[in-house]
Amino acid sequence: MPVFFTSDVHLRLDRPERATRFARWVDCLAGSDTLWVVGDLCDFWAAARQRDSQTEGCPGLRSLAHFRARGGALHIIAGNHDLWMGPLYERVLGVPFVPEPVDIVVQGLRVRLVHGHLLGARRLWKAWMESRTFFRGYAGLPAALARPLDGLLEQTNQHGRLASEERHLEVFRRYAAEQSAESDLVVIGHVHRPVEELRGGYHLIVLGGWHDRANYLRIDEAGATLRSEPDPE
Please tell me the CATH code under which domain 3-229 is placed: 3.60.21.10
Q: Reply yes or no on whether the pLDDT at 55 is more than 90.
A: no
Rounded to whole angstroms, how far apart are CA atoms 229 and 21?
10
Q: Which of 22, 204, 44 minimizes the C-alpha distance to 113?
A: 204
Q: 212 vs 155, which has greater pLDDT? A: 212
Q: Which residues contact 76 (CB under 8 A, 6 or more apart)?
A: 36, 37, 41, 89, 93, 95, 97, 98
CA distance linking residue 67 with residue 81, whole number of Å = 23
DSSP one-letter code for 106: E
Look up residue 210 and give its amino acid. W
Alpha-carbon distance of 38 to 19, in angstroms, equals 17
pLDDT at 189: 98
123: pLDDT strictly greater than 90: no
Residues 62-83 have pLDDT tens digits of: 999 999 999 999 999 999 999 9
Q: What are 94-120's pLDDT values in tens digits?
A: 999 999 999 999 999 999 999 999 999
pLDDT at 226: 98
Q: What is the mean pLDDT of residues 149-165?
A: 84
Give 80's contacts (C-beta < 8 A, 6+ positions apart). 39, 40, 44, 115, 117, 122, 126, 129, 130, 190
Given this model, what pLDDT does residue 222 score? Answer: 96
Could you tell me the residue ranges of all domains in the chain? 3-229
CA-closest candidate to residue 45, choices 7, 14, 69: 14
CA distance to 11, 64, 130, 212, per residue, from 14 (Å)? 9, 19, 21, 15
What is the pLDDT, as a whole number, of residue 128?
87
What pLDDT is attached to residue 25?
Answer: 98
Burial readout 104-124 (b: 16 or more C-beta within 10 A, e: otherwise): bebeeeebbbbbbbebebbee
What is the share, in percent, of the chain residues with pLDDT greater than 70? 100
